[in-house]
Amino acid sequence: MPPPRTREGRGPRDRPPAPSQEEDPEKWDWNCPETRRLFEDAFFGDEDYIRQGSEECQKFWTFFERLQRFQNLKTTRKEEKDSRRPKHSIPALADLPRAYDPRYRINLSVLGPDTRRSRGLGRRLAPERVSEFRQALLHYLDFGQKQAFGRLAKLQRERMALPIAQYGDRILQTLKEHQVVVVAGDTGCGKSTQVPQYLLAAGFSHVACTQPRRIACISLAKRVGFESLSQYGSQVGYQIRFESTRSAATKIVFLTVGLLLRQIQREPRLPQYQVLIVDEVHERHLHNDFLLGILRRLLPQRPDLKVILMSATINISLFSSYFGSAPVVQVPGRLFPITVVYQPQEAEPTTSKSEKLDPRPFLRVLEAIDNKYPPEERGDLLVFLSGMAEISAVLEAAQTYASHTQRWAVLPLHSALSVADQDKVFDVAPPGVRKCILSTNIAETSVTIDGIRFVVDSGKVKEMSYDPQAKLQRLQEFWISQASAEQRKGRAGRTGPGVCFRLYAESDYDAFAPYPVPEIRRVALDALVLQMKGMSVGDPRTFPFIEPPPPTSLETAILYLRDQGALDSSEALTPIGSLLAQLPVDVVIGKMLILGSMFHLAEPVLTIAAALSVQSPFTRGAQSNPECVAARRPLESDQGDPFTLFNVFNTWVQVKSERSRNSRRWCRHRGIEEHRLYEMANLRRQFKELLEDHGLLARAQASKPGDSYSRLRQRRERQALYQLKRQHEEGQGRRRKVLRLQEDQDGCSSDEDRGGTASQGANDNVDIQDVKFKLRHNLEQLQAAASSAQALTRDQMALLKLVLGRGLYPQLAIPDPFNSGRKDSDQIFHTETKQGAVLHPTCIFANSPEVLHTQEQEARGSDGSRDDKDKMSSKHQLLTFVSLLETNKPYLVNCVRIPALQSLLLFSRSLDTNGDCCRLVADGWLELQLVDSESAVRLLAASLRLRAHWESALDQQLAHQARWRLEDKDDEETAPVNRKEVAALSRELLQFTASKVSYSLRRLTGLEIQNLYVGPQTITAAPSLPGLFGCSTPSPHPTKGGYAVTDFLTYSCLTSDADLYSDCLRTFWTCPHCDLHMPFTPLERIAHESTCPEAPQDGPPGAEEAAPEPLQKASALQRPYHCEACQKDFLFTPTEVLRHRRQHV
């Protein structure tokens, strides 16, 4: 507590008229707990302002002691200082008290103690003591008033001193006259905090302010709430993916761009807002660019909607002219002069070709600063590096240097750090010590740190780029733009003159691009295109983007969405596509969620989907720590990484639910970043709500604990948690902590421990994350899900893999045939477009590659086999992966192994066969050779049936969903899809995946791919396979040759030697059911068998029998439909209605 300022306590203690009947003044002891208790009983009751035993009560006594000490010093002074002034002529001044008393300077009066409670008080406490106490209380309250008013006044002064303060009226005036205003000002001018407040003060009450980052939404809402004096009110709120503080009373809401787009998707005219502030438009984020396009179209329809674009002073004319030369209010930044020092790095004899960054140039700057500037001259250093790996390289070296000199506190700053660790950069270094903050470009615009005097700019940035050809993401290092370089430099001049060391030459700078490449030009656009389709903004190719994306990226995205089944051939949303467009998740994840909920696997799929949507929880360093590796081992699943993550999450939830165990420690021992698990839990909950909202998952009824006792206990527990959270929040942000030097000498090995001790500080024993977690989630429910997950049967597991496989398709990789001869770490894989991809070191298949190697048990084809790639086996496996990321090498991220033949038969977008179906080519790049034609045809037929069955079940699911939405959700019709049917489908799928057929698997060479097909045939002998692959008569395929049986299966289009003779290989055969005796090819034979009218109804698994069933079920959903557009009547399912309607659009 700050000491009371002397001014308040000025003057001698007043002993007003009452002559003191001094009874043993020596015996009186204010410090006696008993005495204090008496007064507290009298004054600080339960209903009083200050409560007994509260923090406030302690504060009061501390104040009281200080006041006493101060007054004892003063009492020696002369009491009487009579001044006989003449009575004043102004009435207000006439009756001023003659004798000065500090009490007269307080505009409050405190009443006596509660008489009801203090019956006995009069006897025990002398009146003058009571009066003394009251006086002290008065001073205490007055002090509190002065303090709070001081804060208020300071706040206003600071706001007035901001550069933008002079422009407030102009901005409001311009906004009155125009629909769009561009406010351009550099960071530090105060635009993000002040403009919303100007609007608030001008009476606007429906203001949305978008931010590119979630963190900014929270911190701005807090700051603006504080500055607008509604810190504890609800005028200012935020809304981000996981949380919202928005209420009916909220006047300004800070929200992410993504969230606003979702709102537009729901209500295209955005009726809920009067003013829209789009902040940081210059950053040119994908969503921001899209939002600008949407707004430009919306504005003519909403003439009452005002838009403020806020930008750094970068390329302002672009935004102004995009909105019909909107007026620009330019606010000068507040920058001190900055000296630029170019220090190009010589080509040094670096540590050969190791990928590690050479930290020496950075250390030289530290040394230079130490030599040139005395430590008393404060000022911290901010170093811009390209990425996390570079940060840790420099961190290590700089910490070593710092431990020698004791003059630096080195801190990393990047987005992967937890918020608490990020916050450490705002702490203060002890005297004589400078902070050295090693940051990614996060500190360029989004995080502003005060007190920076020196900047080191590496000139590099690592950015994700997307290669549409190879369909892979690349994290690549680039030179920054001139705009970024200036931005970085500017960070040195916010609090005083500064120095910027550029580790490149001036000529390099001149060669930099003027502006950074907008995101829309370097990322995959499939999510954007899907969203655009979902918002019906028309053809993405003609959408009026502020700067259009490269046409190839758009085409790739459209193709990808068609591949994924989200768009049909006319580029309209399919039923699954329109559902995916509503889910704010990756297409792949969305598919998994939908499929999972269909198979009643929602709980595990939710966890896996959440796990795959956050950064890996495994910490970098832990891989080299044998203890961590050993502790993690029991969590690993040899099915694949998503299952390992699944285990990690479930076990963590178990740990959390066991009261005595500390999940933070559990994570630390295993090298797991707990923060990521919290994110998973949040995401999981959000996914669950999404599925419930979309009718894909029955809403869980709140589990009610049986008896009133446990209800009471639960409520108590929650109240205790709330209490803890409140205490934590009140304790937060009081003061900047002072960094401890020794902390940083631990090196980065004990990164976690440091994070724990430094950020938690006094609250170390309270894990606030844990408290928040327990408040937000129903731990019992989670635990139930987690323990049921541990009891997943083999069948459920296999189904789960099918769901994942189908969701992730076509992201497949085939192991290199020579992998079994390679070292563990050298296993390589090939995708359709990328050869020689490797696994991430944390990947389970990098550590136990043998689970992928094919055992040669059924070596029937080994007679002529040249090498592994022709190996016959029934157990070939493929990897399906979540993403392909290229850094220095292409990496497969989050892999699952799946059975090759069965998966390809079930998922392939294109399946081509030869005449006897022994040779299959999936998606034009994977070749499967089966030993015997009969089993090949059986499998193929079974897969066709299963696919049709699965598709129809999915259609029903989507139809149910669509109906559920149309009918206002009151249709509480049990499960979306018939349980029995799904069970049957699951059973058959499992049987199918378990089928054992020997085959070989290989990737086709480029030359083979070129000569794959027989090509269009002039002579089209009608194929004699009626009924084999369904009822429709196959038509000749126009390009591949052969016959298109379904939209994915083309029969007999592969060139092969066998083709020439396939027609001749007929042998006589007698059907056991109808006694038909005829020469048959194997194919014809099976065709006959499957359609033979005499055949028993419960045929073998390969037989076509279950097919009519889904049809019947489907017809139950059909309803008469009259189309207005084509004036015809149909019998349609709801999905068919949607499909049909789309034809007319």
Partner 1 sequence: MWGALGPVGDMPCLLTLQMECEAERRPLGVFECQLCALTAPYSYVGQQPPGTKSVVGLGHSAHWHHFLPCSLLEESYVMRDPFTPDKDRFLILGSRCSSCGRLVCVGPECSLFYSKRFCLPCVRENIDAFPQEIQQDLEKRKVPSKRPASQPGSRT
Q: What residues make contact with partner 1 under the rule CB under 8 A?
A: 7, 10-11, 47-51, 81, 83, 85, 88, 90, 92-93, 96-100, 104-117, 141, 145, 148-154, 156-157, 161, 226, 229-234, 247-249, 715, 718-719, 722, 726, 730
Minimal distance, residue 896 CB to partner 1, in Å: 43
Nearer to partner 1, 10 or 1077 (CB): 10
State the Cα torsion 416-420-426-430 to the nearest 10°.
Answer: -120
Read off the amino acid at residue 940: L
Minimal distance, residue 114 CB to partner 1, in Å: 4
Nearer to partner 1, 29 or 55 (CB): 55
Nearer to partner 1, 47 or 510 (CB): 47
Minimal distance, residue 48 CB to partner 1, in Å: 6
Minimal distance, residue 204 CB to partner 1, in Å: 15
Cα–Cα distances in angstroms (integers) from residue 121 to residues 34, 39, 51, 64, 737, in the given order: 13, 9, 18, 20, 44
Give the bridge partners for 408, in sequence order.
Answer: 434
Cβ atoms of 638 and 851 closer than 8 Å: yes
Q: What does the angle CA 676 – CA 678 – CA 679 come to, to the nearest 5 degrees?
A: 60
Q: Are strands 460-467 and 829-831 parallel, antiparallel or unpaired?
A: unpaired
Measured in residues, the chain has a length of 1145
Nearer to partner 1, 776 or 1113 (CB): 776
Nearer to partner 1, 57 or 631 (CB): 57
Cβ atoms of 577 and 565 closer than 8 Å: yes
Minimal distance, residue 192 CB to partner 1, in Å: 20
Nearer to partner 1, 49 or 1061 (CB): 49
Minimal distance, residue 113 CB to partner 1, in Å: 7
Nearer to partner 1, 360 or 718 (CB): 718
Minimal distance, residue 719 CB to partner 1, in Å: 7
Minimal distance, residue 100 CB to partner 1, in Å: 4
Q: What span, in angstroms and rounded, lies between the C-alpha atoms of 497 and 373?
A: 13
* Main-chain dihedrals φ then ψ at residue 254, nearest 5 degrees: -95, 125
Tell me the residue ranges of DSSP E strands in 287-379.
Answer: 306-311, 328-331, 338-342
Tell me the residue ranges of DSSP E strands in 914-970.
Answer: 919-922, 926-930
Residues 6+ apart with CB under 8 A from 892: 813, 829, 831, 837, 838, 839, 840, 843, 879, 881, 884
Nearer to partner 1, 226 or 1121 (CB): 226
Cβ atoms of 132 and 140 closer than 8 Å: no
The b/e string for 74-109 (b: 16+ C-beta within 10 A; e otherwise) is eeeeeeeeeeeeeeeeeeeeeeeeeebebbeebeee
Q: What is the DSSP string of 785-833?
A: HHHHHHT--HHHHHHHHHHHHHHHTT-EEEE-TTGGGS-GGG--EEESS
Instruction: Copy the structure tokens of residue 762.
Output: 């006094």
Minimal distance, residue 187 CB to partner 1, in Å: 21
Nearer to partner 1, 137 or 1138 (CB): 137
Minimal distance, residue 236 CB to partner 1, in Å: 12
Residues 6+ apart with CB under 8 A from 254: 196, 209, 210, 211, 216, 217, 218, 220, 221, 224, 236, 237, 238, 239
Cβ atoms of 423 and 371 closer than 8 Å: no
Minimal distance, residue 102 CB to partner 1, in Å: 8
Using N-to-C axis directions, what is the helix angle for 191-201 and 168-177, rounded to 10°?
60
Residue with tokens 């060391």: 501
Q: What span, in angstroms and rounded, lies between the C-alpha atoms of 571 and 568?
A: 5
Minimal distance, residue 657 CB to partner 1, in Å: 22
Q: What span, in angstroms and rounded, lies between the C-alpha atoms of 223 and 846?
A: 47
Minimal distance, residue 463 CB to partner 1, in Å: 41
Minimal distance, residue 123 CB to partner 1, in Å: 18
Cβ atoms of 256 and 286 closer than 8 Å: no
Nearer to partner 1, 124 or 1119 (CB): 124
Whether omega for the bond prior to residue 810 falls within 30 degrees of 0, making it cis, is yes
Nearer to partner 1, 53 or 97 (CB): 97
743 burial (CB, 10 Å; 0-12 / 13-18 / 19+) is middle
Nearer to partner 1, 169 or 971 (CB): 169
Minimal distance, residue 249 CB to partner 1, in Å: 6
Minimal distance, residue 10 CB to partner 1, in Å: 7
Minimal distance, residue 1030 CB to partner 1, in Å: 57
Nearer to partner 1, 450 or 1094 (CB): 450
Nearer to partner 1, 716 or 969 (CB): 716
Nearer to partner 1, 10 or 1122 (CB): 10
Nearer to partner 1, 73 or 93 (CB): 93
Nearer to partner 1, 97 or 1038 (CB): 97
SS3 204: coil
Nearer to partner 1, 153 or 511 (CB): 153
Look at residues 737, 733, 731 and name the one whose alpha carbon lies nearest to residue 428: 737
Could you give the maximum distance between any two Cα atoms of the chain, in Å?
138
For the stretch 641-644, contacts whose Cβ atoms lie closer than 8 Å and that sit 24 or more positions apart, written own/partner, are: 641/842, 641/843, 641/844, 641/893, 641/894, 641/895, 641/896, 642/608, 642/611, 642/612, 642/804, 642/882, 642/894, 642/896, 643/608, 643/896, 644/844
Q: Are strands 911-913 and 1043-1044 parallel, antiparallel or unpaired?
A: unpaired
Minimal distance, residue 456 CB to partner 1, in Å: 32
